Amino acid sequence: MPIDATLPYDETNIFARILRGELPSKTVYEDDYALAFHDINPQAPLHILVIPKGPYVSWDDFSERADDAEIAGFIRAVGLVARELGLVAPGYRLLANVGLDSHQEIPHLHVHIFAGKKLGPMLVR
Ligand code: AMP
């Protein structure tokens, strides 16, 4: 079910529980600002999710409320993960769904990293 990105942060969401260590994840990177782990249902040969450590519903919420250090830390973490996985030369795709029309399912900001094959054009032409 897609979520309404205008709702307040829900501390019981799956990614909040992963951050608290209540649920497992296949972690590939962690620092003060971000956690990166494998998507449980990969849509590409490599499909990583990067989430901020703070309680932000979506890109909208994060870009409005997060402080500069959180934003810099998170953005740098996304780039670092892709670089350390060797994805810059072959290329990769980033995606962040926001709210109902995008079909965002988990109400904690996550950036998808897709890689490992030719991903094709983003939108049907
Ligand atoms: P979105 O539709 O942008 O909200 O994407 C949510 C993503 O979270 C989907 O790709 C799911 O496969 C993924 N997902 C859901 N639960 C878990 C989990 N426990 N661990 C890792 N990925 C998950």
Give which of 95, 86, 99, 90 is closest to 113, Cα–Cα: 95
Q: Looking at ligand 1, which atom is closest to the CA of residue 105? A: 4
Residue 96 near residue 109, CB atoms below 8 Å: yes
- Distance of alpha carbon 38 from alpha carbon 2, whole angstroms: 21
Structure tokens at 95: 């995606």
pLDDT of residue 123: 81
pLDDT of residue 122: 86
CATH-assigned architecture of domain 14-115? 2-Layer Sandwich (3.30)
Q: Which of 26, 27, 39, 110 to mutate to test the pocket of ligand 1 (most atoms within 8 A of CB)?
A: 39
Check if 60 has its Cβ closer than 6 Å to any atom of ligand 1.
Answer: no
Give which of 113, 75, 122 is closest to 94, Cα–Cα: 113
Would you list the domain boundaries of the chain? 14-115
Structure tokens at 121: 């054009």
pLDDT of residue 112: 98
Which residue is catalytic, options 38, 103, 108, 110? 110
Q: What is the pLDDT of residues 15-47, one digit of tens each?
A: 999 999 999 999 999 999 999 999 999 999 999
Given a cut of 70, the residues of the chain with pLDDT beneath it are none
